[in-house]
Amino acid sequence: MSLPPLYKYLNVQGAKLTLANKCFKFAKPSEYDDLEDMTTQSLFPDKLEKALATMPDGFVDAIMANLYAPPTCAPKLRPAVVTMQMTFRANPQLAPIVAAGLKEDPEKAGLGIEVWKTRSEAFVNETNAFMQNYRVFCVTTDKASERMWKEYAKEHQGIALRITPSFEKDSKYLKFAPVTYQEKRPPIFAKVADFAAESLFGNQTERARTVLEGIIYAKTNAYKFENEYRLAIPLGEGEEDYRTQPFHPEEITELYLGAAMKDTDKQEIVATAKALNPEIAVFQAKQDAKGRISFDAV
């Protein structure tokens, strides 16, 4: 995937540390201002009672659509699924009857509301806890956002850096991906029918990856102004925790100085940036009476 121009806003202290140490700060999700970011709040988009009402049809439809597929669900469930596959192959007309039977006695079918409340809460908590293993670096496609200069560059006193990931060095920063914005935090499963099919016959590893990506790269519409891309890296097994990751000096290609930056900070940061990458392009931000931001080459 080709990346657009990407920028990182920093306050003065963050700018000095980043350029001097040749490292970007990666965050743990629990450190975000938005505490719901990189979390999920529910198993399904609908209320659990509504989801359970449709689950018998979902499971039966999934089996009917996969009459010869080997089940990939938990081992203890596979014999029952295989039996239903054999039954439906022999007599497809039994499918709606089986679904109706599951609805008549949901407790016996394992679809009782209290059982699933506990299971759903545990699944959500486990998913959110797992997210804390990720370390995340966020950037934007908008270098002229008045709100971001105000909030993330501390009242226009900080900077923005353009990051141009190195293909030649197979940079980790080539793996940035765009954030999608939506009204609510995403559920773990978009549809009950998808959950049924994937949990019985899907690639479980791929399903887990897809679920996680849907949560990692989603934010609510309140943050749409950020135009964000992010890089999320899970801690490896036994890997020591970290908060910074290095970059190649040539990957920092442009430096934008805030409109309200102090001259002493400006001189120090420009000197550090030039020592880091002598080819870096430097620009001075300016703001007109309507708050619009533009840049002059320095």
Q: H/E/C letters for each residue in the chain?
A: CCCCCEEEEECHHHHHHHHHHCEEECECHHHCCCCCCCCCCCCCCCCHHHHHHHHHHHHHHHHHCCCCCCCCCCCCCHHHHHHHHHHHHHCCCHHHHHHHHHHHCCCCCCCCHHHHHHHHHHHHHHHHHHHCCEEEEEEECCCCCHHHHHHCCCCCCCEEEEECCCCCCCCHHHHCEECEEECCCCCCCCCHHHHHHHHHHCCHHHHHHHHHHHHHCEEEHHHHHHCEEEEEEECCCCCCCCCEEECCHHHEEEEEECCCCCHHHHHHHHHHHHHHCCCCEEEEEEECCCCCEEEEEC
Q: Is the pLDDT of residue 99 over 70?
A: yes
Identity of the residue numbered 114: E
Q: What are phi and psi of 31, to 5 degrees?
A: -90, -5
Cα dihedral sign, 64-65-70-76: negative
Model confidence at 207, pLDDT cuts 50, 70, 90, reads: confident
Q: Is the pLDDT of residue 116 over 90?
A: no
Res 199: pLDDT: 85
Which segment, 23-37, 70-84, 239-253, is predicted with the most confidence on average?
Answer: 239-253
Name residues whose C-beta falls within 8 Å of residue 116's C-beta, 6 or more positions apart in sequence. 48, 52
Please tell me the distance from the alpha carbon of residue 48 to that of residue 295, in angstroms, as a whole number: 52
Q: Is the pLDDT of residue 137 over 80?
A: yes
Q: What is the pLDDT of residues 10-42, one digit of tens each?
A: 999 999 999 999 999 999 998 887 878 999 989
Question: Tokens at residue 269, please?
Answer: 């940061």
Residue with structure tokens 């559920």? 187
Q: What is the pLDDT of residues 159-205, one digit of tens each?
A: 999 999 999 999 999 999 999 999 999 998 888 888 888 889 988 77
Q: What are phi and psi of 168, to 5 degrees?
A: -60, -35
pTM for this entry: 0.85
Res 1: pLDDT: 65
Question: Tokens at residue 138, please?
Answer: 């966020």
Which segment, 8-22, 70-84, 94-108, 182-196, is predicted with the most confidence on average?
Answer: 8-22
Q: What is the pLDDT of residues 262-278, one digit of tens each?
A: 999 999 999 999 999 99
Identity of the residue numbered 194: D
Average pLDDT over every residue of 212-216? 90
Counting residues of the chain whose pLDDT is more than 90, the rounded percentage is 68
Q: Is the pLDDT of residue 109 over 80?
A: no
Please tell me the distance from the alpha carbon of residue 186 to that of residue 40, in angstroms, as a whole number: 6
Name residues whose C-beta falls within 8 Å of residue 242's C-beta, 6 or more positions apart in sequence. 26, 135
Phi and psi based region of residue 230 (left: phi greater than 0; alpha: psi -120 to 50; beta: remaining): beta
Average pLDDT over every residue of 83-107? 92
Q: Is the pLDDT of residue 259 over 70?
A: yes
Cα dihedral sign, 69-74-80-84: negative
C-alpha 161 chain-centroid distance:
22
What is the residue extent of each domain of the chain?
6-28+132-179+217-297, 48-129+185-216
∠ CA 197-202-204, nearest 5°, is 125
